[in-house]
Structure 1
């Protein structure tokens, strides 16, 4: 950088630092909304209030034309677009304001809907995923606005309200209104760093396909003393089918589904994975028959039993189960069609359920995998920005989770660069009790976003 560029970067960094108290206040207001996009868990009014708050926050930092648009699944997406200087690129900034349920409240050390500072971190549901990412975006826009008096590129924003449900509402909305996402570069802020303070760009996402499987063998439960042994146990049949999905090495063994992929990027250290995942002492990570941790979480399919419905222990009776139900989630790496993989999973479960049981299977969710391009000017600019903000060179990683909208946007925007990053890191414990964000990670991510926009707009010399 030249001296002038260095001075500008320093001024932006100072503005980000000065904006942190407001960022905390914004995050506190957002976390207070119990914005779970499932009316069976939280009232719809909570999501409506969150959407209204997001719209107001975008307007406060200078986004023009902010709208709250209903999606076909009943959620609301907040969008806006601010023109930039003529001839400059357009950048779309994505986040989502809906969250997963709080779950077991007794497992939280502080109230999930109240942002609480503890041990240098900010705790609360959505503090990282994804309200923390939204706040980092707001902080970046605010800082750049204060220092430069505007943004050097066209800035569009979209914050969706049902990402965690994989219900496809925002995708359907955008396919009908592609003008909302027109851009040269899309920053999808819904991932994070491989460890605290280590800047990371995610270059691949696994797809997802969940199914609900119900196994029935009898019209009613049967007394285990009178009929046990000869009576076909529906729960046992279901467990046997589920056990066939994985082998003893952890490899997913769905009939007809390849499981020999190799991860070509940075390795995932076994000890770090054990710490990140919270493995108990003496329990080792699974690495497959001939693979590595990285292969299994980023390059190969993974079948996971998410839930089982049967008689709970608190209501135990001496009876053989007549019916049992489970939800199975299948993650698929880039290069594997998620819809085809889901079909193979359904056929596998039918084939491997014993006792001649009746098997009913219903697809629940579906999202295709994604692989980002890494050879464009936006990717290079983001690499420079993150290295400057974090003080370390950028690393790349895969993401075992899925963001179905990423694939949809890649389809809608075939020429755009899609960059995945965020405030999340292993210590955030997203989707678990005691989710949190480290304020330094939020600050550094905001600075990286601001420097990226300045660089892409020609204000910083490479």
Structure 2
């Protein structure tokens, strides 16, 4: 079955690329109101493509005030796992247009790269899965696994309506595992499995003093200065070794295994080059961890802005009545944003700051995500990559946050596999975005092999 599928994909590659060009010509920019009709047209295009591939129950499903989700399924493999394919059909704005070498919504192939907005993020990678389904159904008449699709239109605007959609349609979306291709390989020809993303807790601290700004000559030295109190508080958040000094901050952190730390050495950047590129005299962070570990796999507390007092030209000799700071904590499995902000608030109340009141305003929440690398679905993905690329993928984690991935895994109680076929330097979110077409071949082959390997995995009853 598998060989005939791979042969079909090769034989119809040019037709599939032409269809991808059609997909890319639709300016489905979710962030701009002027493109609302294009978003609807793009959802219709995705639905038609899913129907053409042989999927059933194709449905353009509304969200509560946002762009629609396109759903489809094929559920005729009794006793086999069910895979939910997640992706998105919306794209970033093309600005600045003057920096594009070719029109952003008029796809062009140069040097075996397809240039267009959305080519790598995420239309090219979404269509890979649809064409693999089509190849299986046209050659074998069946799939080795059951498949569902959930293709949203708001990923580029933080998936703001999707969490509620997933909760509402949990039963329909239920699956044994989830897969998406919206990440990158290590480099061209070198696969990578990203298995962890950091979460986020963002808040603002406000320190209030007197009921108005005060003359520093009349009141200085006798009335608490909110900036003094704030800077003392901020300096208490870290110890001399770069660790966060908030009690309980590290309580839930999962320790890195020797296997993980060894794998990171294959992808870690040259720290001297990082220092040189950033033009800093030295790197600084939690001791005992590499730069890569510090920025992907350890939690942080970063002060992102501080404000207070007169900010104009010259000096205004006052005691300001208010000072504030904004803070972003990047979290790792299994930390929880609410607990971290509770711990920070307790840390604040444990300090002594007479003459001021301090408030913490909680603003950003995002749980961290991780799928252990020895999870059977991860092993199957690694084996599929190896069969296609001739080498085992490296394991990576990201310092950034994609909260919807954690939501999918948690609500559906299913492991998530990030199986990317993008390549660093493909300019996602930037002018001249492109997709290496050799990864069209490699991507479809890897997905086909992955589903074939998944069919042998037994999933127990969910609790």
Alpha-carbon distance between aligned partners in 2 of 1:433 and 1:224, rounded to the nearest angstrom: 51
Q: Contact (CA 8 Å) 1:240, 1:353: kept in 2 or not?
A: no
What are the superposed Cα offsets for residues 6-34 of structure 1, whole Å, 9 maximum, x if unpaired?
A: x436415514743552364155235x222
Mapping for residues 128-277 of structure 1, pairs under 5 Å: 128-163=120-155, 165-166=157-158, 169-214=161-206, 251-258=243-250, 262-264=255-257, 265=260, 266-268=263-265, 269-271=267-269
Task: Indicate how the Cα distance of structure 1 residues 353 and 67 shifts in structure 2: closer, same or farther if over 3 A, else same.
Answer: farther
Q: CA RMSD in A?
A: 4.5
Please, which moves more after superposition, 374-383 or 91-100? 374-383
For residue 291 of structure 1, what is the aligned residue in structure 2?
Answer: 289
Alpha-carbon distance between aligned partners in 1 of 2:41 and 2:327, rounded to the nearest angstrom: 33
Displacement of 1:398 in angstroms is 2.1
Task: Indicate how the Cα distance of structure 1 residues 172 and 107 shifts in structure 2: closer, same or farther if over 3 A, else same.
Answer: same
Instruction: Indicate whether 1:22 and 2:21 are aligned.
Output: no
For residue 380 of structure 2, what is the aligned residue in structure 1?
Answer: 381
What are the superposed Cα offsets for residues 119-173 of structure 1, whole Å, 9 maximum, x if unpaired?
A: 7655665543434432333343344444444533321001233445556632222
> Per the alignment, in what secondary structure is the counterpart of residue 257 of structure 1?
coil
For residue 409 of structure 1, what is the aligned residue in structure 2?
Answer: 408
Task: Indicate how the Cα distance of structure 1 residues 276 and 106 shifts in structure 2: closer, same or farther if over 3 A, else same.
Answer: farther
Displacement of 1:397 in angstroms is 2.1
Instruction: Indicate whether 1:34 and 2:25 are aligned.
Output: no
Task: Indicate how the Cα distance of structure 1 residues 441 and 130 shifts in structure 2: closer, same or farther if over 3 A, else same.
Answer: same
Q: What is the TM-score normalised by the length of structure 2?
A: 0.75
Q: Contact (CA 8 Å) 2:60, 2:69: kept in 1 or not?
A: yes
What are the superposed Cα offsets for residues 406-446 of structure 1, whole Å, 9 maximum, x if unpaired?
A: 333333444x4432221344324556676554333454223
Displacement of 1:333 in angstroms is 0.9
Structure number, greater radius of gyration: 2
Aligned pair count reads 447
Displacement of 1:110 in angstroms is 5.4
Q: Contact (CA 8 Å) 2:275, 2:281: kept in 1 or not?
A: no
Match of 1:423 among 414, 421, 425: 421
> Per the alignment, in what secondary structure is the counterpart of residue 400 of structure 2?
coil
Q: Which runs of 5+ in 2 are unaligned?
A: 457-463
Q: What is the TM-score normalised by the length of structure 1?
A: 0.75
Q: Which runs of 5+ in 1 are unaligned?
A: none
For residue 450 of structure 2, what is the aligned residue in structure 1?
Answer: 452
Task: Indicate how the Cα distance of structure 1 residues 223 and 159 shifts in structure 2: closer, same or farther if over 3 A, else same.
Answer: farther
Please, which moves more after superposition, 353-362 or 261-270? 353-362
Displacement of 1:301 in angstroms is 0.7
> Per the alignment, in what secondary structure is the counterpart of residue 271 of structure 1?
coil
Task: Indicate how the Cα distance of structure 1 residues 386 and 122 shifts in structure 2: closer, same or farther if over 3 A, else same.
Answer: same
Alpha-carbon distance between aligned partners in 2 of 1:26 and 1:98, rounded to the nearest angstrom: 14
For residue 461 of structure 2, what is the aligned residue in structure 1?
Answer: none
For residue 105 of structure 1, what is the aligned residue in structure 2?
Answer: 96
